[in-house]
Structures are given as structure tokens and as C-alpha cells.
Amino acid sequence: MEKRADLKKSTFRKVRVKVSEMMRDLEEEAVRALLDDYKTGRYIDRMDFFAQPDRQEVIEISNKLLYICYPGFFRDRVYRTLNEEHRVTVLIEDIIYNLRKQVSIALRFNEAYASAGEKEIAEAAGRITTSFIKKIPEIRSYLETDLEAAFEGDPAATGKEDIILSYPGLMAITINRLAHELFLLRVPLIPRIMTEHAHSATGIDIHPGATIGKYFMIDHGTGVVIGETSIIGDHVKVYQGVTIGALSTRGGQNLRGIKRHPTIEDDVTIYAGASILGGMTVIGKGSVIGSNAFITSSIPAGTRVSIKNQELQLKKGDNFCVSRSDLKQDENWFYII
């Protein structure tokens, strides 16, 4: 019995060794195939890890900028001190150091610096970072108006703290206003990384190139899209699912630099699901765009746009009961919020 048991164990060990060798060979073959695939010369085959900004570091900088914009609302566990002014000073210095480093890497993607020397790149990154930090007080003055607009425009808000700490609209707007300044300073990649991080966190997609005035409010927010060349005035309110986009992107890169997205003038409200498209489209001051409207041409000031005579079909099982196109609804039915 003991000999038979020893034989079984010996056989099992040999099989296990053979299987291990076979798996190791397969793994080595798979790794070699993937490494060979990297040598085909495609853009996605690049392996120069430090030739582009560190996405995670940019996200960390974005989060720290939130602490700077709202110093009493977002806590950083790293910088704990009884002296609040000292805490913020250390945080700002941290942002400057890390942002300058990421900007110096990103500038290589700007044609103006493609062949610049390290010293020139370092000096340019320093100037850009300093200019950006100096802009933050002005950005914060805009954010105060956005906060005011959100509070006054939403009766569900229990207080301004509620909005700062929990509303996705204000977070997306904050990151966008910060990224927009870096965009204006012609910093490649970093602004888009910032806004796409906000997009993933909030469901709100605002290109850093969009120009947005004061008292801007995004209510609920999920599914909002605002394109690069959009111009939005003061006191504009946008609900979920709104697209302020291009009429067509089939021209691809040939459309770069051309105004492709609408202009929204002051005091405009755009309700849920509306699509406003085209670079020549202007929504006039004080207009109200109803839910699910699809607009590709300009709307005069003070206009109320709504969809009438929707068809309602009622069915029970497989049997068609009734179709009605003259829905009797409250006159404000298109204000879907």
C-alpha cells in the first residue's frame, strides 16, 4: 500500500512539473508575441513612458486645485496644521511644483516648443504655471457666481454647502474653468485630461476650449455635452441631457480651428434633452428652449421654443387602443427637469 501511495505521489509530481513547464512555455510564447507586436511601428506601440504627462498626476493636481478653490470644504490629509494660511501655502507650492513638471512634458506636444531645449522648456513651463496660479482668484470670482446661480435656481438645495460638496454641476464647472485657463495658455493635453476626469466623475462633458460666462448653472447634469468652440453668456441655465454641439464632424481634422458649436447669449434656459447644433447657431438673449428640441438655426432673443403635438400611443398587450397627437397638457409640460 505504501509503495502504491509513493508511486501515486511521484507520478503526480512529474505531471505537475510537466504542466508547469508547459504553462511557462505558453506564457513565454504569449509575452514574446506581445513584445513583437510592439515593434510594428504603430502610434499605439510607443513605449516612451515619460514622453507625455502623467494622467494620474494631473488628476491629483486637479483634486488639489479643488482644495484651493474651496479651502474650507475639501480636506487634504497630507497637509495638517493648525495654521490654515500655512496649510494653503504649502498646498499651493505643491501644486506649482507638480504642475510645472507636467506642463514641461506637455509643451513638447506644442509645435512652438517641439524642438526647444530643456532650458527653454523649463522657463516656459515656469511662466505658464505662474500665470495660471495668478488667474485663480479671478476663476474663484466666477465660481462664486456659479454657486449663487445653483443655489437660487434649485429649491432642493438645502444650502450652499450642499452644492459645493455634492452637486456634480458645480464640480464640472470648476474643473472646466481651471482647465480653460490652461487651454488659453496653449498647454497641450493637460486641460483635456482634467475635463475628461470631471466627465468620468460627473457625466458632464465640457471641452476646456468652451467660453462660459458668469452665473452658469448645470442642474442634474448627466449627459450634458458642451463643445470646444461654444460661447455661453451670463446667467445661462442648462439641464441634463443637453447637447451644445457641432452640426457635423464628418470633416474631421479639416474643421479644426473653425467655430463648430453654438453661441448661447445671456439669460437663456435650456431644458432636458435639447440639442443645439452648429457654429452659426445663436440662441438669442432671454430665450427658453424646451425639452427635446432639436435646433440647427438661430433663435431670436426672447423666444420660447417647444415641441407641440406629440403623438401618444396606448397599447394593451398586442392590441392597439388609441393614438392621440393633441395631448392636453399643462402649458409648461416641456420643462422636463
Q: Is residue 336 predicted with pLDDT exceeding 60?
A: no
User: Span 207-236, mean pLDDT?
Assistant: 97
- pLDDT band at residue 12 under the 50/70/90 scheme: low
> Which residues contact residue 38 at a Cβ distance below 8 angstroms, ignoring those fewer than 6 apart?
45, 47
Gap between the Cα atoms of 261 and 211, Å rounded: 11
Q: Is residue 14 predicted with pLDDT exceeding 70?
A: no
User: Span 170-183, mean pLDDT?
Assistant: 98
pLDDT digits (tens, 9 = 90+) for 284-295: 999 999 999 999
| Closest to 301 (Cα-Cα) out of 249, 263, 258, 265 | 265
User: Span 156-164, mean pLDDT?
Assistant: 94
Q: Is residue 11 predicted with pLDDT exceeding 60?
A: yes
State the pLDDT at residue 330.
56
State the pLDDT at residue 139.
98
State the pLDDT at residue 328.
56
User: Span 88-109, mean pLDDT?
Assistant: 94
pLDDT digits (tens, 9 = 90+) for 16-60: 767 777 788 888 889 889 888 888 888 888 877 668 899 999 999
Helices marked H in the chain — which ranges?
Answer: 2-37, 55-69, 84-106, 118-153, 160-166, 168-184, 190-202
Cell 515656469 belongs to residue: 126
Find the angle CA(151)-CA(155)-CA(161) to the nearest 5 degrees.
40
- pLDDT band at residue 175 under the 50/70/90 scheme: very high
Find the angle CA(71)-CA(77)-CA(80) to the nearest 5 degrees.
75
- pLDDT band at residue 135 under the 50/70/90 scheme: very high
User: Span 167-175, mean pLDDT?
Assistant: 97
- pLDDT band at residue 253 under the 50/70/90 scheme: confident
State the pLDDT at residue 231.
98
State the pLDDT at residue 72.
81
Burial of 145 (0-12, 13-18, 19+ CB in 10 A): middle
Q: Is residue 166 predicted with pLDDT exceeding 80?
A: yes
C-alpha count within 13 angstroms, C-beta hemisphere, residue 269? 14
Q: Is residue 75 predicted with pLDDT exceeding 70?
A: no
Q: Find the range with the poorest average confidence among 69-73, 92-96, 218-222.
A: 69-73
Q: What is the mean pLDDT of the chain?
A: 88
| Closest to 46 (Cα-Cα) out of 55, 54, 37, 56 | 37
Gap between the Cα atoms of 209 and 228, Å rounded: 5
Largest interatomic CA distance in the chain: 98
The one-letter amino acid at 175:
I
DSSP 299: B
State the pLDDT at residue 5.
60
> Which residues contact residue 226 at a Cβ distance below 8 angstroms, ignoring those fewer than 6 apart?
205, 206, 207, 210, 212, 232, 244, 245, 261
User: Span 179-201, mean pLDDT?
Assistant: 97
Cell 442634474 belongs to residue: 220
The one-letter amino acid at 192:
R
- Domains of the chain by start residue, with CATH: 49-205 (1.10.3130.10), 223-337 (2.160.10.10)
User: Span 121-134, mean pLDDT?
Assistant: 97
State the pLDDT at residue 39.
87
- pLDDT band at residue 254 under the 50/70/90 scheme: confident
